[in-house]
Structure 1
């Protein structure tokens, strides 16, 4: 009997351990364990006292060229002393591995392990450092470009809403709200002063879930899977939007931390008045984008939580609420 085709799989951690021992010259005591099965799959690799993270990209999620561009960016940041999880080459100086999974060839990269742990809610002082870390990334990526996605308003808002439409009823109040908000954002961004919006390479996923903080309160940034090109203010907007969530929309909690984060950022790189004005709007744009990603990856990731009810609760509880705080559109 032939093996039935699959759309996704979890690769065996013990067999990955043997594979990595051979490719990277790791010891026979190396252990491997899956720690996250999400958009991609991440394994913690432990060799004696040294840890690594091995990312296995989902089938056809990224091209070899897109991964090469991510690697190039990370090597630049590492060389310039920015605290990031960086790629590690194998014995033959290759950064990208190909693994023949049941669903087809999947690509993998070994990264240095970000020391420390994730902390959901941290002090103003650490938010200040987070601002400095982001600014140091932007200082090196401003006016640069990768051969990867351009995060234009069309990509963030138009393509994402089309994906959302596959799961959210066209005649629902929530879809009517999203269409109205999309029109508002597209119009507002079109009329913005683009000369005052810095362009460059963005991470687009900088928040607590992609930081590890060690005992000395030093931050290491990781997971550049969504890096691409766009307004640098998108990164600030996403971080601030997530801060509202992390602090449960309590202004007395999130506002001092936002101010500390922005002070940290501006101690390295200055923002324009137009960038600061657009931050709430750009945060909503990224909300659109990631809802689109969840819908796009329904078959091999989000089906365990995504439904029409989930989308309605997300829109009413997060997007509409965020728009209302800043009096954007008819929230």
Structure 2
């Protein structure tokens, strides 16, 4: 019996000792180096400490995060740095570059070392929400005027609605009523966005502006990180990511207060938030399906229990959209 030299690989787990040696070769960091794997997922993230200084190391997926996509993220971060927005910055290698391409079995994987955002996760209260709102407003203002590049993801209706529905159609054949409901909701969102597109703020977005993707230090400064999901879309989408479907009214009010103190928010953008909340739930289902065979949660996590929860959530949300 003969074998191919390398069996096809979708996703590899990188050897910790080899990663540390790669970091030592590539970056002028003081010893000792300490290592801890934080999580494996769409990308793999590691905590490093160089002589006690905390750092974050990220290994991007070969298929979903090719070099141009990673370069787009790093370019956005550079823009934020130059405009004074607190953001976790990438660290230059000894040769001046930001990324290293690792020859993994599934293909080249980009490796980038970042500063650790000062502070830590805040107490999720109205004060912190106000600071987060101000941070997102500053980010949007800093990214105003940028034009999409070929590598820039588009957070448009195809990405938010069409692609997820295409994926769901193949797995919800046993739930025709739910599939029809999701398609109807997508049509409602599409109709609203298309009818109001001329009045909605469009530009470069963070893409995943959640509590967990920023830290707050003792002075109250919010430092943003994880722009892996960044792209060009409607800014109301970024606001909708922060506001969960079952969100707290006081926290949302604080967030809006912080945002509007630094940037104008039109009534059209504010009214669009619930529609983008629905779109995000639909997108999330497609995201789980897309990555179910190549991430830490596995295919068993994408099951009827997940669909039951998400569809029930959207059905409760439906009256708020149809009443507008």
2:143 — aligned with what? 141
**From 60, 63, 78, the counterpart of 1:60:** 63
Partner of 1:318: 313
Does the residue aligned with 1:81 lie in a helix, a strand or coil? coil
2:167 to 156, 163, 170: 163
In structure 1, C-alpha distance between the alignment counterparts of 2:300 and 2:209, rounded to whole Å: 23
Q: What are structure 2's unaligned runs of at least 5 residues?
A: none
Describe the superposition over 1:263-310 as per-residue Cα deviations: whole angstroms up to 9, x where unpaired. Answer: 100000011111111110011112222221111112101425533313
CA contact (8 A) 1:21 1:28 kept: no
Q: Aligned to 1:177, which of 178, 181, 200?
A: 181
- What residue number does 1:104 align with? 107
Secondary structure of 1:87's aligned partner = coil
Q: Distance in 2 between matches of 1:95 and 1:185?
A: 39
- Aligned CA-pair RMSD: 2.0
Q: CA deviation at 1:259?
A: 0.9
Contact kept? 1:238, 1:286, Cα under 8 Å: yes
Q: 2:298 aligns with which of 291, 296, 303?
A: 303
CA distance in 2, matches of 1:221, 1:183: 33
How far apart, in 1, do the equivalents of 2:242 and 2:31 lie? Answer: 41
| 2:100 and 2:110 in contact (8 A); partners too | yes
Alpha carbons of structure 1 residues 159 and 316: separation in structure 2 relative to 1, 3 Å: closer
Query: Secondary structure of 1:42's partner?
Result: strand
Question: TM-score w.r.t. structure 1 length?
Answer: 0.89
Moved more, 270-279 or 288-297: 288-297
Q: Deviations over 1:208-242 (max 9, x none)?
A: 121223344432211101111011111112111x2
Q: For 1:59 and 1:174, how far apart are their aligned partners in 2? A: 34
Query: Which of the numbers 185, 190, 194 marks the counterpart of 1:190?
Result: 194
Q: CA–CA distance in 2 between the matches of 1:113 and 1:317?
A: 38
**Equivalent residue, structure 1, for 2:134:** 132
| Aligned-residue offset at 1:7 | 1.5
The aligned residue for residue 35 of structure 1 is 38
The total of aligned residue pairs comes to 317
Give distance in 2, aligned partners of 1:116 and 1:166.
44
The normalised TM-score by structure 2 is: 0.91
Residue 152 of structure 1 pairs with residue 156 of structure 2? yes
Distance 1:166 1:46, change over 3 A: farther
Mapped contact 1:167–1:308 kept (Cα < 8 A):
no
Q: 1:2-61: per-residue Cα shift (whole Å, max 9, x none)?
A: 553322121112221111011002234112221011110001111112111111111211
Ranges in structure 1 where 5+ consecutive residues have no aligned partner: 248-253
CA distance in 1, matches of 2:309, 2:299: 15
For 1:122 and 1:161, locate their aligned partners in 2 and report how far apart those are by CA, in whole Å.
Answer: 33
Aligned match of 1:265: 259
Q: Residue 139 and residue 280 in structure 1: after superposition, are their counterparts in 2 closer, same or farther (change >3 A)?
A: same
- Output the CA distance in 1 between the equivalents of 2:265 and 2:134: 13
CA contact (8 A) 2:202 2:235 kept: yes
